[in-house]
Structures are given as structure tokens and as C-alpha cells.
């Protein structure tokens, strides 16, 4: 059955690999199957673009639009919808509709509207005339605004984003000529040499991973252009533009109360990526307004991970830097009669909010107290005159509003905890609702991007900026990235750590970013993964195995191959002389000379992998068995097993074989890997531990009580970690380490020593290894000082599926 599905999915242009993954996706597969049948591609292949649109339809359709799936698939088949923007518009249009008015549908979704490249060029030409002065003055710095403006041209609503960008680029070149020294963005010159090198390295990761296309299509392409967002007073925009020069300014604002996880990789890519795509800037902002949960190690880890992913914050900022300014503004808010000190308890506040059981919403008795009284009490709060819970400052918003975000949110609370940066200076701290929009405003953020659960907060965000008459950024929400088969919640991970189910927060079985990093996953693989998800408003749940595909793809192109063996068995080649030694040159990656080569010894005694020998042969086994001939990878002649030596328990301990260097031996069917015994060359390299990881939870949604009634702790896979001891690897391993030692800046990023163990999987060095003096000197002659080598399996070569149904 699932084979048929794989073929069906290939009909619309998916690769075999992708088709197989899609079959496993329980949500997507049935929808896609139905769409393909509806469009009539069950027995024939669609053209590529139709296929891509059907895929986009199935993967983004909302539950409310599902009843119209067949209709939409047919419209795509009939080429009435030709871009993903149109497909999104169509989904939106039919969502929750019982019947579809075709004329309206056609109009809303741009059916039949064809915008050719020439149309685009013409429209962009005309638009250029209206902004020419600005273009000539600001030159390439004007790109973001120019492009944004072009996209907003009504006749280009259904044009391809790529065509618009092409036309804009061409126009800029025509008007301005190529970039010259006027277009160089001057950077501050404080950096030391080492930092510059580091910056180049991170730039390289970012460049390799940048996918600007995603910022120029779909929802993201419809964002406003800096300068285009209305303000309560026009002069605020003038000030703002003066400060930013019209640049895009974004920020990634983690709360430093835990380690970042895979979901944050999406947030990081979107914030840094959007800014970069428009030549703008992105800050890393620690949203550190809750002293109780914050710890030094989180601050450090967050910055390190952002850089590791390849992004360089334009500035590292802290909400706490603005505590004074926030406090001053709170006073101003009280003076405007838009905030008051309140003494209600949490329970009382709940009661006032009303509801089916609690009756109508009501104001509390403190709401109308005189301004002077609130001012005095707020001062008292600040001076420690209240205990925690005795007083709060609330914004006086709109109790009549249907949105709970208007029901007098808390702006300040008393917290008698020392703060990581401000020590004991404050005993009152601002809330997220109060702080976030104001700090966005102070930092002149143009696009405040956040996840969809903040959609309801958007009006209250705007309310506060307007109430204080400060510059108001635009908030825009995107869907969260959730990953199945794992847990991302800080509290739950803490429990896993505390109860000893995992080593620590960076245990490679977890999906925190430090854990993924430690497992050896290259940052580019994560970025590539995030880019293919695109940016939409819907939350996505992705199988962890989906990320594995990106890891394999990236490592396949970049990781050198080494031979090695688990459970090694020694094979003595009886007809070679004692002390025989040949050096053999092997390519780091077969058929890819650009990856270089290295040499290894070939001697009279070699080790092979335990699984490559079978004492009892069978017709489906092509590797080594008594009397059988097999090739050794990279070695000129094959070997034939002549004798099996066992210990007193009957266990095979050694094999004797003949090296077939005479004439008349046929090419063997199969080649196996091997490692020579050669103390002189330090071969084999003995590995103290190889850690193999499987998924940590059996079920897709371990925290879902319906799926796992016993709770996620009951769902832990007892075999998620296995440790192989006694494995060996060839001396090409030292080349991997040498290269690392020469390029590593920090000498702590052991996970960057990555390679493929031929036919087994991709591995990296774990941070618990003890590399002795080698670590700091990177000199191969110091390999004797390496005391302990632990490897992590980053990913196996094959897809494994052990999910419980």
C-alpha cells in the first residue's frame, strides 16, 4: 500500500526520498493522496509546477477549507491558480464557507490574472519615476523600500515575487550602475583580528544558508516597508526614520530563562533573515524582566547558539537596560490617567474579569482612585513599601472590549528578587505586556515578529505605544514550529534532567539547540530545514525524522568518509610476509576529488566489522564467510577466508585469509571496510565509546494525555541510548582532528569533528572526550596525549522508524 503511495507522490514530482517521508506524515499523506486523485494524476505525471501547487495545497490547507479540497485541486489542475500566493488566497477564501461563489472566488484569488515579466517590468518602470529622487540619493540603501513599494503596486498583486525582485534589481542597476564605494556600509572598526576571523566564519555559515526567496514570497512579502506604518503623531515617524535611515530593524527577543530549542531556530532565521534580506539589522535582545527565572548560563548559551547558527547580532541588548525609562513612562501613564495602582489578588482579578460562572465583567474599586494617589502608591511600590502581591500597577484599558488583552493588564509587580544585571536596585519589575512593545519602540524596531499566540496581544501592544505617544512598530505573527516525538517545554526538560533520564540539557537525544549541536548536527542543516518550512501563520508539527533528512543531505556533501569497525574481528592474511606494509591513498569522499584524500597503511593483519563475517553462510549474504572471497575497500586484491579460529567457548576470535594477489581471481561482488593493525602508524585508532541515539519517546506526542495516558515520563524509550565499546577507526581520523584543530577558534567545538563511518552513519566527537594537549596544539605528533575519544552518532545512514502506533 505505502509503495503505491510513494509512486503516486512521485507523480507530482516529489523525489523518491521526499515521497517516502511524505507517506509517513500521517496528516499530510491522506490529504495529498486525495488532492492527486481529484486532479487526476493517479496514473500519469503532472507537470512540475502543477505538482508543486498540489503539494502546497495539501500541506497548508486549513481544517475549515478541507471540505473544498477536491474543488481546489481541480482548479489547480485547470491552471486557474498558478502561484502559491494564489493557492493561499484560495484556501483563505473557501475556509469555513459552505458554498463557493465561483465569480467571487475567481476575483479574490486572481484566477485568470496573468502577470507577465513584461507587465512587471513596465509597472516597476512607472513606479521608479515616482521615487527616483530618493533612489538616486540613497542608492542601494533604498533597496528595501524600493522593493517593498514595488510589491505593493496593485497591478502586481498576483505577480511572481521573484519576477518583481528581478525587475527591481535590473532597474537599480540601470539607474545607479553597479555598486561602488558609496554603497559600502561602513562597519565599526574595533574588532581584533581574531574576532574578524570569527565574524568571517559566521558570515560564511549565514551565506551558505541564506534563502532570501522565502522573504520575498507569500505572507512575508506583504509586510509593510519601513516608513509605511502609521503613527499617532506624524513626527514620530520622522524621528524614527532619522534614527534608522529607513532600514529594516528586527530583533530576536528570547527570555533568558532556558536554553534555546529547535523552535527558536525558526524565530532566529526569520528575524535575522528578514533583516538581512532587506539590508537591515537585527538585534539579539534578552527580554530579562523576570529576575526569578534568569541565569547567567542561559545568557551565554543563547548568544553562542545564535552565532553558531551563523548570525551576527547587530547589537546585543537587554530589556533591563531600560528599567529607568520604563519606570518614567509608567509615571507618565498614570499622569495621563491610563494606569492605576491596584491591590486586588489574583483571584479577585479573575472574578472581575467575569465569565459564564462569574457573571459580568466589572471594574475594581481601585480603578478610579485619584491620579495623585496612584502616583504616591507607585512610588511606595518602588521604594519597597509593599510586599509581593500587595500592589500592582495596572494599565487602564477598555473593559468593554471583547479582547481580554484590554482588561487592564498588569504593567508592574513587586518582586523582591535580585536581578542578574541590576542587582537589588529594583523591587518592582515590568511585565512582558508592558515591556515588550516599549522596548521594541525604543530600539526602533520596524517589524516585531512573534509567534501566533501573541495575535490577541497585537491591539494591546499598539494601545500602549499610542497611549504614551511613542513610535509604534508593526507586530506580525507567524506559526510556531513544533516537533513531534520530543518535548521542548523548559519545565519538562528540567524534569527529564533532574530525574536522570537524560545526561543534561544538551543531551543529544533532546531538541534543545545545544543538544542538537552536541549531536553533531551542522548548523546549515538546521537552517536549510527551517527554510523549507517557509513562513506562514499556521503552527507546524514536524516529525523529527524530517530534520534527519537535511542532516544527511548536508553531511553527505561535506563529511569525509572513514573506515571503521564495531565488534572488530582480526583477519590475518597468511600469505603476506610478516611486517608487510603498503600505504594506500584513499579519497575522503569517493568520486569527489574536491574533498581531498588521505593515506592509510595496509598490513598483514587487518580488522573487519563483526557484522561483515558470518560463520554460517547463506545465499543472500555476500560478505565474508568460510571459503568465501570478498573485496577490501580501496585494496587492490580481494581476500578468501581459509580458517576460523575460536576460543574455548566457541566464539570466533580471529580469521585467517588468503590475499588473492595471484592471477585468475574474479572481481568480488562486494567490498567491506577494514582497518589495518599497524602500531607504527597508530592504527587502529581505538574509540572509548560510541554513543548511538534513538528517539527518546515512543509516541509522536508524548505530552498528550490521550495518546500517552501515563504521561511523558512513562513513554521514555529505554533503548534510546546504547553505548558501543571497543570500536575502532582508521587513522584518517587524525586528519579530521587536524583539520579541526587548524580551524577551530574556540577549541571547544568538538562536535565540528564530523565524518561518515562508511556504511554506518555520520558521527562526531563528543565534548566529554579528553583530547589532551592535542586539543590546544592541534599537532598530530601529540596524538599520544589523547586520552579518551567518545563519538556521537549524529544520524544513521538509513531512515529508522521505531514509532509506536
Residues forming the active site:
255, 480, 490
CA distances (Å), 793 to each of 334, 693, 797, in order?
Answer: 58, 7, 10
Measured in whole angstroms, the distance separating CA 76 from the mean position of its chain's CA atoms is 31
Question: Which stretch in 69-77, 252-260, 580-588, 679-687 sits in contact with Mg ion by CB under 5 A?
Answer: 252-260
> Binding to ligand ATP by residue 267, rule CB under 6 A?
yes
Q: How many CB atoms lie within 10 A of CB 493?
A: 24
> Binding to ligand ATP by residue 263, rule CB under 6 A?
yes
Please say whether the beta carbons of 488 and 511 come within 8 A.
Answer: yes
> Binding to Mg ion by residue 469, rule CB under 5 A?
no
Minimum CB separation of residue 529 from ligand ATP in Å reads 13
> Binding to ligand ATP by residue 436, rule CB under 6 A?
no
Q: Burial level of 745, CB count in 10 A (0-12/13-18/19+)?
A: exposed
Minimum CB separation of residue 218 from ligand ATP in Å reads 16
Question: Which stretch in 37-45, 481-489, 608-616, 772-780 sits in contact with ligand ATP by CB under 6 A?
Answer: 481-489
CA dihedral 746, 747, 750, 752 (to 10 degrees): 60
3-state secondary structure of 301: helix
Task: Return the DSSP state at 135.
Answer: H
- Closer to ligand ATP at the Cβ: 8 or 270? 270
Minimum CB separation of residue 151 from ligand ATP in Å reads 25
- Closer to ligand ATP at the Cβ: 538 or 722? 538
Give the number of residues in contact with ligand ATP, rule: CB under 6 A.
15
- Closer to Mg ion at the Cβ: 440 or 751? 440
Minimum CB separation of residue 542 from ligand ATP in Å reads 11
- Closer to ligand ATP at the Cβ: 297 or 358? 297
How far is residue 209's CA from residue 65's CA, in Å, rounded to a whole number?
34
How far is residue 468's CA from residue 740's CA, in Å, rounded to a whole number?
53
- Closer to Mg ion at the Cβ: 255 or 539? 255
- Closer to Mg ion at the Cβ: 267 or 438? 267
- Tell me the torsion sign for CA atoms 776, 781, 787, 793: positive
Minimum CB separation of residue 128 from ligand ATP in Å reads 36
Q: Quick one: which of 258, 291, 313, 534 contacts ligand ATP (CB under 6 A)? A: 258
Minimum CB separation of residue 255 from Mg ion in Å reads 4
- Closer to Mg ion at the Cβ: 494 or 723? 494
Q: Quick one: which of 159, 481, 753, 790 contacts ligand ATP (CB under 6 A)? A: 481
Q: Which does 488 bind (CB under 5 to 8 A by kind): ligand ATP, Mg ion, none?
A: ligand ATP
Q: In three state form, how does the secondary structure of 202-251 look?
A: HHHHHHHHCCHHHHCCHHHHHCCCCCCCCCCCHHHHHHHHHHHCCCCEEE
Q: Quick one: which of 490, 501, 614, 739 contacts ligand ATP (CB under 6 A)? A: 490
CA dihedral 6, 66, 216, 11 (to 10 degrees): 20
Minimum CB separation of residue 491 from Mg ion in Å reads 12
Q: Quick one: which of 144, 148, 226, 253 contacts ligand ATP (CB under 6 A)? A: 253
Minimum CB separation of residue 399 from ligand ATP in Å reads 28
Q: Which does 490 bind (CB under 5 to 8 A by kind): Mg ion, ligand ATP, none?
A: ligand ATP
Q: Are strands 316-318 and 339-342 parallel, antiparallel or unpaired?
A: unpaired
CA distances (Å), 710 to each of 263, 383, 487, 699, 719, in order?
Answer: 26, 48, 15, 12, 19
> Binding to Mg ion by residue 332, rule CB under 5 A?
no
Q: Quick one: which of 254, 430, 522, 684 contacts ligand ATP (CB under 6 A)? A: 254
In the chain, % helix, strand, coil (3-state, to 5) comes to: 45, 15, 40
> Binding to ligand ATP by residue 255, rule CB under 6 A?
yes
Q: Which does 518 bind (CB under 5 to 8 A by kind): ligand ATP, Mg ion, none?
A: none
> Binding to ligand ATP by residue 266, rule CB under 6 A?
yes
- Closer to Mg ion at the Cβ: 255 or 376? 255
Half-sphere exposure of 651 (CA within 13 A, CB side): 5
Q: Quick one: which of 183, 239, 255, 654 contacts Mg ion (CB under 5 A)? A: 255
Direct distance between the N- and C-terminal alpha carbons of the chain, in angstroms, rounded to an integer = 17
Task: Compute the residue count for the chain.
Answer: 805
Q: How many CB atoms lie within 10 A of CB 229?
A: 16
- Closer to ligand ATP at the Cβ: 382 or 458? 458
> Binding to Mg ion by residue 539, rule CB under 5 A?
no
> Binding to ligand ATP by residue 480, rule CB under 6 A?
yes
- Tell me the torsion sign for CA atoms 194, 197, 198, 199: positive
250 strand-pairing partners: 282
Report the number of secondary-structure helices (H) and strands (E) in the chain.
Answer: 25, 29
- Closer to Mg ion at the Cβ: 215 or 299? 299
Q: Burial level of 664, CB count in 10 A (0-12/13-18/19+)?
A: exposed
- Closer to Mg ion at the Cβ: 285 or 681? 285
Please say whether the beta carbons of 510 and 716 come within 8 A.
Answer: no
Q: Which does 480 bind (CB under 5 to 8 A by kind): Mg ion, ligand ATP, none?
A: ligand ATP
Binding mask 443-472 for ligand ATP (x = CB under 6 A): -------xx---------------------
Please say whether the beta carbons of 688 and 694 come within 8 A.
Answer: no
> Binding to Mg ion by residue 724, rule CB under 5 A?
no
Minimum CB separation of residue 436 from Mg ion in Å reads 10
- What's the angle, vertex CA 143, arms to CA 137 and CA 148, rounded to 5? 120
How far is residue 305's CA from residue 315's CA, in Å, rounded to a whole number?
15
Minimum CB separation of residue 438 from ligand ATP in Å reads 16
Q: Which does 165 bind (CB under 5 to 8 A by kind): Mg ion, ligand ATP, none?
A: none
Question: Which stretch in 137-145, 250-258, 327-335, 765-773 sits in contact with ligand ATP by CB under 6 A?
Answer: 250-258
Q: Which does 455 bind (CB under 5 to 8 A by kind): Mg ion, ligand ATP, none?
A: none
CA dihedral 211, 212, 216, 217 (to 10 degrees): 0
Q: Which does 167 bind (CB under 5 to 8 A by kind): ligand ATP, Mg ion, none?
A: none
How far is residue 532's CA from residue 266's CA, in Å, rounded to a whole number?
11
- What's the angle, vertex CA 59, arms to CA 55 and CA 63, rounded to 5? 130
Q: Burial level of 154, CB count in 10 A (0-12/13-18/19+)?
A: exposed
Residue 766: enclosing H or E segment and its boundaries? none
Q: Which residues contact 803 (CB under 8 A, 6 or more apart)?
A: 485, 695, 698, 699, 700
Q: Which residue is nearest to ligand ATP (CB)?
A: 263
Q: Quick one: which of 68, 264, 681, 754 contacts ligand ATP (CB under 6 A)? A: 264
Q: Which residue is nearest to Mg ion (CB)?
A: 255
Minimum CB separation of residue 451 from ligand ATP in Å reads 4
- Closer to Mg ion at the Cβ: 255 or 738? 255
Minimum CB separation of residue 484 from Mg ion in Å reads 21
How far is residue 234's CA from residue 606's CA, in Å, rounded to a whole number?
79
CA distances (Å), 174 to each of 117, 178, 316, in order?
Answer: 17, 8, 38
- Closer to Mg ion at the Cβ: 38 or 449? 449
Question: Which stretch in 324-332, 477-485, 589-597, 599-607 sits in contact with ligand ATP by CB under 6 A?
Answer: 477-485
Minimum CB separation of residue 294 from Mg ion in Å reads 12
Q: Which does 77 bind (CB under 5 to 8 A by kind): Mg ion, ligand ATP, none?
A: none
Which residues lie near ligand ATP (CB under 6 A)?
253-255, 258, 263-264, 266-267, 450-451, 480-482, 488, 490
Residues that bind Mg ion (CB under 5 A): 255
Amino acid at each position: 500500500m505505502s509503495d503505491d503511495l510513494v509512486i503516486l507522490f512521485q507523480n507530482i514530482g516529489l523525489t523518491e526520498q521526499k515521497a517516502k517521508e511524505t507517506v509517513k506524515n500521517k496528516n499530510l499523506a491522506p490529504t495529498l493522496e486525495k488532492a492527486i486523485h481529484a486532479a487526476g494524476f493517479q496514473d500519469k505525471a503532472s507537470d512540475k509546477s502543477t505538482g508543486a501547487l498540489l503539494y502546497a495545497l495539501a500541506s497548508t490547507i486549513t481544517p475549515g477549507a478541507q471540505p473544498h479540497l477536491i474543488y481546489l485541486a481541480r482548479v489547480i489542475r485547470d491552471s486557474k491558480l498558478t502561484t502559491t500566493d494564489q493557492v493561499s488566497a484560495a484556501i483563505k477564501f473557501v475556509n469555513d464557507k459552505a458554498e463557493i461563489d465561483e465569480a467571487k472566488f475567481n476575483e479574490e484569488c486572481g484566477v485568470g490574472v496573468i502577470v507577465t515579466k513584461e507587465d512587471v517590468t513596465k509597472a516597476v518602470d512607472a513606479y521608479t519615476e515616482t521615487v527616483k529622487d530618493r533612489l538616486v540619493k540613497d542608492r542601494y540603501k533604498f533597496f528595501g523600500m524600493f522593493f517593498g513599494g514595488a510589491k505593493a503596486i496593485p497591478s502586481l498583486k498576483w505577480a511572481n515575487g521573484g519576477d518583481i525582485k528581478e525587475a527591481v534589481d535590473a532597474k537599480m542597476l540601470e539607474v545607479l550602475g553597479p555598486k561602488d564605494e558609496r554603497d559600502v556600509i561602513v562597519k565599526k572598526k574595533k574588532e581584533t583580528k581574531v574576532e574578524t576571523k570569527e565574524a568571517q566564519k559566521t558570515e560564511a555559515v549565514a551565506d551558505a544558508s541564506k534563502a532570501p526567496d522565502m522573504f520575498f514570497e507569500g505572507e512575508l512579502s506583504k509586510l509593510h516597508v519601513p516608513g509605511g506604518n502609521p503613527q499617532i503623531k506624524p513626527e514620530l515617524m520622522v524621528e524614527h526614520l532619522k534614527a534608522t535611515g529607513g532600514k529594516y530593524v528586527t530583533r530576536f527577543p528570547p527570555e533568558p530563562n532556558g536554553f534555546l530549542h529547535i523552535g527558536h531556530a525558526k524565530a532566529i532565521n526569520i528575524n535575522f533573515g528578514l533583516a538581512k534580506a532587506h539590508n537591515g539589522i537585527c538585534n539579539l535582545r534578552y527580554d530579562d524582566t523576570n529576575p526569578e527565572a534568569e541565569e547567567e548560563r542561559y545568557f551565554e548559551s543563547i548568544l553562542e547558539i545564535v552565532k553558531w547558527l551563523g548570525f551576527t547580532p547587530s547589537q546585543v541588548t537587554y530589556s533591563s537596560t531600560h528599567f529607568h525609562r520604563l519606570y518614567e513612562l509608567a509615571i507618565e501613564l498614570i499622569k495621563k490617567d491610563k494606569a492605576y495602582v491596584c491591590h486586588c489578588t489574583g483571584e479577585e482579578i479573575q472574578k472581575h474579569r467575569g465569565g459564564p460562572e462569574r457573571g459580568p465583567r466589572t471594574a475594581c474599586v481601585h480603578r478610579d482612585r485619584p491620579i495623585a494617589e496612584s502616583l504616591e502608591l507607585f512610588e511606595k511600590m518602588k521604594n519597597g513599601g509593599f510586599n509581593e502581591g500587595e500592589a500592582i500597577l495596572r494599565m487602564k484599558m477598555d473593559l468593554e472590549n471583547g479582547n481580554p488583552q484590554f482588561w487592564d493588564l498588569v504593567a508592574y509587580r513587586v518582586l523582591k528578587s535580585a536581578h542578574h544585571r541590576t542587582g537589588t536596585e529594583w523591587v518592582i519589575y515590568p511585565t512582558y505586556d508592558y515591556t515588550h512593545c516599549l522596548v521594541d519602540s525604543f530600539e526602533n524596531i520596524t517589524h516585531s515578529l512573534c509567534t501566533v499566540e501573541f495575535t490577541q496581544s497585537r491591539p494591546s501592544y499598539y494601545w500602549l505605544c499610542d497611549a504614551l505617544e511613542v513610535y509604534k512598530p508593526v507586530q506580525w505573527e507567524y506559526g510556531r514550529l513544533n516537533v513531534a516525538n520530543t518535548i521542548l517545554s523548559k519545565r519538562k526538560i528540567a524534569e527529564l534532567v533532574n530525574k536522570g533520564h537524560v545526561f543534561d540539557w544538551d543531551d543529544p537525544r533532546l531538541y534543545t539547540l545545544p543538544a542538537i549541536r552536541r549531536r553533531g548536527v551542522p548548523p546549515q542543516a538546521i537552517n536549510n530545514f527551517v527554510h523549507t518550512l517557509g513562513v506562514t501563520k499556521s503552527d507546524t508539527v514536524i516529525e523529527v525524522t524530517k530534520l534527519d533528512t537535511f542532516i544527511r543531505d548536508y553531511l553527505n556533501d561535506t563529511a569525509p568518509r572513514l573506515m571503521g569497525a564495531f565488534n572488530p574481528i582480526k583477519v590475518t592474511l597468511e600469505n603476506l610476509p610478516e611486517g608487510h606494509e603498503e600505504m594506500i591513498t584513499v579519497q575522503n569522499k569517493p568520486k569527489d576529488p574536491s574533498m581531498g584524500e588521505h593515506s592509510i597503511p595496509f598490513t598483514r593483519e587487518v580488522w573487519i566489522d563483526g557484522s561483515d563475517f558470518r560463520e554460517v553462510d547463506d545465499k543472500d549474504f555476500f560478505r565474508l564467510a568460510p571459503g568465501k572471497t570478498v573485496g577490501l575497500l580501496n585494496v587492490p586484491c580481494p581476500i578468501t577466508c581459509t580458517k576460523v579460529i575460536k576460543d574455548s567457548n566457541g566464539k570466533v576470535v580471529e580469521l585467517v585469509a588468503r590475499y588473492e594477489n595471484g592471477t585468475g581471481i574474479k572481481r568480488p561482488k562486494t567490498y567491506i571496510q577494514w582497518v589495518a593493525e599497524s602500531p607504527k602508524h597508530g592504527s587502529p585508532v581505538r574509540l572509548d565509546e560510541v554513543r548511538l541515539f534513538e528517539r527518546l519517546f515512543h509516541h509522536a506526542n508524548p505530552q498528550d494525555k490521550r495518546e500517552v495516558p501515563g504521561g511523558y515520563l512513562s513513554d521514555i524509550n529505554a533503548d534510546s541510548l546504547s553505548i558501543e565499546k571497543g570500536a575502532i577507526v582508521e587513522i584518517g581520523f587524525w586528519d579530521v582532528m587536524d583539520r579541526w584543530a587548524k580551524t577551530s577558534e574556540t577549541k571547544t567545538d568538538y562536535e565540528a569533528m564530523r565524518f561518515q563511518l562508511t556504511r554506518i552513519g555520520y558521527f562526531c566527537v563528543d565534548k566529554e572526550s579528553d583530547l589532551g594537549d592535542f586539543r590546544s596544539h592541534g599537532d598530530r605528533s601529540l596524538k599520544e596525549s589523547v586520552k579518551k575519544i567518545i563519538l556521537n552518532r549524529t544520524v544513521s545512514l538509513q531512515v529508522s522508524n521505531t514509532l509506536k502506533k
